[in-house]
Structure 1
Amino acid sequence: MRLPRISLRRLVSRVLACVLAVQGLTLGALFVIDLRRKRLRSPARFPKLRPSTVPIDGGELTVFTYGQDLYDDMLEGIRNARKRIVLVTFIWKGDRTGRAFKKALVEAADRGVEVCLVYDEFANLVVPRPFFSFPSHVNVLRHPLVWGGLGWLNPRNLGRNHNKLMVVDSEVAWVGGYNIGSLYATDWRDTHARVTGPVVADLEDAFVDYWNELPGRHPMLPEVATRSWHSSVRVHRNIPRRAHYPIRGMYLEAIDKATDHIWLTHAYFVPDDDIVRALLAATSRGVDVRLIVPAASNHITADWLSRGYYAQLLAGGVRLFLYQGAMVHAKTATIDGQWSTIGTANLDALSLAGNYEINLELTAAEVAAKLEEVFTIDLSNCTELTLAEWRARPMMVKFSETVLRPYRRFL
């Protein structure tokens, strides 16, 4: 009996359809699991650290690890503003906290302060559009879904504005992982910094450059005139429209220099091969590499993509710690008691080669010591994942991780 002949094209199409169907079912199952998990979520509980200040070149840096403390400080800065406020945020909820910021910014504009605001359109699709209606004397721009009419054809125009930055009177700036919303005020563990001194000019310059390039009818801002050449604090910013992504290089260079320890805290850890190799090379030369990630983040797909790296990292000597009781959203690292970074960039493809991001890089022992203190406190709220425990996970879990592996490059 002769078997029916199937063309190679048809065979490939059928195999591809099966693979996509399995991936779709897996993603759908994760979505259902995530909805149930969020409905049953207990109130957040995690150790808190009061804001504390350390010196940096020509100024100071204050570390915030609890949202309400940060928001109180930022609102006070808005209320004391005399000349200009610039603010960009990825997510701006229309809840009690979001309304408090809106009210304070409008009041600042009412007393003659120039106010320039940016929010990301895609990240705020679920926020009622009227919330972003401001009086005409407040300058408000949205980062569009796509820049330009046919701009979607150019990948450089697809980057989201993931920045969270505010500068007041060119004298003080706030930058880090916190979006604006009541959930983040009490239920998320994140890290933000307030800085003064010469670095404020570099942070304001990042906003001005972006603002002046953003399409639309809005007043151009003057260039920042005075910036320092010599500082232990540097600003790195990813600019998709220029295909400029220095934050990834900053991490790789710092990891390669490590001789004693690398302590990382990241909400979404989906690194590329170069970062994985750099971390494993560090452990092979005796560096203590530790990584804190959420036990369960707000994006279950990101969790499962991240898990695809666990076996390789654990086998290579990296220690993994799962943060309990709350979403840890920080994007920080400290190395050898000398180098640190605080910013908006996750260690994933979207942040490192896709979105607008901004990070502080600091070579200051005082800042490193403060972030090591924060890391140690966070460790007290973690459980360590061992290689034996990870290898013993159910076969269905391993299968699902394998099915989702192709999506790593997109997240």
Structure 2
Amino acid sequence: MSVSRSTRAVVRRGLLGFLAVQVAAVASLMGADRLRRMLRGSNVPTLAPADARVHELAGRGDGSSVLTTYTYGATLFEDMIAAIEGAEHRVLLESYIIKNDETGRAFKAALIGAAERGVDVCVVYDGFANLVVRPSFFEFPAPIRVYRYPLWNAGWKIFSPRKQGRDHRKILVVDDTAAFVGGYNIGALYATEWRDTHVKVTGAAVWDLDNAFIDFWNVHATTAKKPTGPLRPLGSATWNPQVRAHRNLPHQLVYPIRALYLEAIDRAHHSIDITAAYFIPDHDILSALLEAARRGVTVRVLTPKVSNHVVTDWLSRGFYGQLLRGGVQIHRYTDHMVHAKTATVDGQWSTVGTANIDRLSLLGNYEINLEILDPGLARGMQDIFENDLRGAERLTLAEWNRRPWVAKVYEAILRPLAPLL
């Protein structure tokens, strides 16, 4: 018995010691990261907004949509605010982060102005992501309805997967005529200093995003501590398989975005271009990318060299060696934070949305991604990817193998944290 107790004590001390090492590693990385971000430049290299008309399959009615891609936040925010200012019936805004700065206040003023014109306005934001924002900022005058996705949603069901995850979505729907979705949060930082991708949708596909907001609102806001009334669609659904919105719904244990990526990667014949703000692939996605490279597909992954989450950067690096040895190209965006969550396959298939390639997004958070099957939109996405490569450095296997031993130690210490993120 004494030997058993002694063994347990040694194991316990070892685990606590390793945890302390991990905490120290994280703290040191965060300190160095703060300095790097202070030295970062501005003026993000971007392309002008581009339109692509996506047609419904022949013989099924008028189901076409126009998709406009945005790669510069200031331009996107101008168009979003203009859409709110032109609203006639309803504005639905859902954003993971809304900063209390000049950009956030401009959105708030536009929403209040719409309500004063008699427009029905509903706002959703995530409580955890906005902890640093004064609660008074989210106080809107009646009749604007606001739902704060709670900081703690599990109650006593601590281990229930249905109660986990954040509301990481970014959706704006105006009437039943225009909708916006993508990676951009709302704030001045994102307007000019981050590289991200968003899409504006007009036409038939607006219904998908309208319905996504309504379903979330009717499940959560109507059952909150201060419940609000349900919403109903303004338009009607059409069948347009060329543009679909896929939603991760933790409360239903539904996570289609991961399957969306896996199926597209498995179908690839020629090329896979992925832009990932936080790239921590699980076993299946990692294996699918390596298998695609083995069968001759050109696989390129663009990720930030230094992101706003330094620990995530180091966890991502833990996969670089295996990817590079398997023939996958890794390009690291320099000088700026690339926050986009996009992919294009074979010049035919594209996705733009809110989900990162990590466990939190693919198996945890409320997320939404558009899946678009259209060569015109795909060409535009490839132009964006090629333009981004001009601001990136390609990492070679030889360079990776020459990295300092200190980097290898950090990777080894932090690697066990990967399944958590």
Q: TM-score, normalised by structure 1?
A: 0.97
Query: What is the identity, as a one-letter code, of the residue corresponding to 2:310?
Result: I
Residue 6 (structure 1) shift: 6.4
Query: What is the identity, as a one-letter code, of the residue corresponding to 1:103?
Result: A
Moved more, 99-108 or 207-216: 207-216
Q: 1:136 aligns with which of 109, 133, 142?
A: 142
Q: Counterpart in 1 of 2:119?
A: 113
Say whether residues 1:21 and 2:20 are aligned partners: yes
Say whether residues 1:43 and 2:34 are aligned partners: no
Structure 2 CA distance for aligned equivalents of residues 151 and 120 of structure 1 = 20
Query: What is the identity, as a one-letter code, of the residue corresponding to 2:74?
Result: Q
Q: Counterpart in 2 of 1:98?
A: 104
Residue 137 (structure 1) shift: 0.8
Structure 1 CA distance for aligned equivalents of residues 157 and 282 of structure 2 = 27
Q: 2:175 aligns with which of 169, 177, 182?
A: 169
**Match runs of 1:238-387 below 5 Å:** 238-387=248-397
Query: What is the identity, as a one-letter code, of the residue corresponding to 2:17?
Result: C
Structure 2 CA distance for aligned equivalents of residues 105 and 353 of structure 1 = 32
Deviations 1:305-343 (A, max 9, x none): 000000000000000111112100000000001000000
Q: Are the counterparts in 1 of residues 314 and 411 from structure 2 also a CA contact under 8 Å?
A: yes
Say whether residues 1:191 and 2:197 are aligned partners: yes
Structure 1 CA distance for aligned equivalents of residues 49 and 16 of structure 2 = 53
Q: Are the counterparts in 1 of residues 44 and 192 from structure 2 also a CA contact under 8 Å?
A: no
Residue 59 (structure 1) shift: 1.9
Name the % identity: 50
Q: Counterpart in 1 of 2:60?
A: none
Query: What is the identity, as a one-letter code, of the residue corresponding to 1:282?
Result: A
Q: 2:206 aligns with which of 200, 208, 211?
A: 200
Q: Structure 1 residues 115, 341: closer, same or farther in 2, change over 3 A?
A: same
Residue 369 (structure 1) shift: 0.3
Matched position secondary structure for 2:158:
helix
Residue 157 (structure 1) shift: 1.1
Gaps of 5+ in 2: 56-63
Q: Are the counterparts in 1 of residues 94 and 125 from structure 2 also a CA contact under 8 Å?
A: yes
Say whether residues 1:390 and 2:400 are aligned partners: yes
Q: Are the counterparts in 2 of residues 46 and 381 from structure 1 also a CA contact under 8 Å?
A: no
Query: What is the identity, as a one-letter code, of the residue corresponding to 1:33?
Result: A
Query: What is the identity, as a one-letter code, of the residue corresponding to 2:283?
Result: D
Q: Are the counterparts in 2 of residues 262 and 289 from structure 1 also a CA contact under 8 Å?
A: yes
Residue 148 (structure 1) shift: 5.4
Residue 5 (structure 1) shift: 9.1
Residue 159 (structure 1) shift: 1.0
Structure 1 CA distance for aligned equivalents of residues 400 and 370 of structure 2 = 34
Q: Are the counterparts in 2 of residues 262 and 334 from structure 1 also a CA contact under 8 Å?
A: yes
Q: Counterpart in 1 of 2:155?
A: 149
Q: Are the counterparts in 1 of residues 176 and 235 from structure 2 also a CA contact under 8 Å?
A: no
Structure 1 CA distance for aligned equivalents of residues 202 and 45 of structure 2 = 27
Query: What is the identity, as a one-letter code, of the residue corresponding to 1:182?
Result: A
Matched position secondary structure for 1:124:
coil
Structure 1 CA distance for aligned equivalents of residues 317 and 389 of structure 2 = 19
Q: Are the counterparts in 2 of residues 232 and 362 from structure 1 also a CA contact under 8 Å?
A: yes
Q: 1:158 aligns with which of 151, 158, 164?
A: 164
Structure 1 CA distance for aligned equivalents of residues 363 and 276 of structure 2 = 16
Matched position secondary structure for 2:323:
helix
Query: What is the identity, as a one-letter code, of the residue corresponding to 2:373?
Result: T
Q: Are the counterparts in 2 of residues 205 and 224 from structure 1 also a CA contact under 8 Å?
A: no
Residue 145 (structure 1) shift: 1.6
Residue 153 (structure 1) shift: 3.9
**Match runs of 1:204-223 below 5 Å:** 204-214=210-220, 215-216=223-224, 217-223=227-233
Q: Are the counterparts in 2 of residues 45 and 325 from structure 1 also a CA contact under 8 Å?
A: no
Q: Counterpart in 2 of 1:85?
A: 91
Q: Are the counterparts in 2 of residues 208 and 222 from structure 1 also a CA contact under 8 Å?
A: yes
Q: TM-score, normalised by structure 2?
A: 0.95
Q: Counterpart in 1 of 2:32?
A: 33
Q: Which runs of 4+ in 1 moved over 3 A?
A: none
Residue 202 (structure 1) shift: 1.0
Query: What is the identity, as a one-letter code, of the residue corresponding to 1:164?
Result: K
Matched position secondary structure for 1:7:
helix
Q: Are the counterparts in 1 of residues 43 and 192 from structure 2 also a CA contact under 8 Å?
A: no
Q: Are the counterparts in 2 of residues 324 and 382 from structure 1 also a CA contact under 8 Å?
A: yes
Structure 2 CA distance for aligned equivalents of residues 116 and 149 of structure 1 = 25
Q: 2:50 aligns with which of 49, 52, 55?
A: 52
Structure 2 CA distance for aligned equivalents of residues 304 and 86 of structure 1 = 37
Count residues with an aligned counterpart.
408
Q: Structure 1 residues 5, 202: closer, same or farther in 2, change over 3 A?
A: closer
Q: Are the counterparts in 1 of residues 126 and 149 from structure 2 also a CA contact under 8 Å?
A: yes
Query: What is the identity, as a one-letter code, of the residue corresponding to 1:270?
Result: I
Deviations 1:288-307 (A, max 9, x none): 00011001001101100000
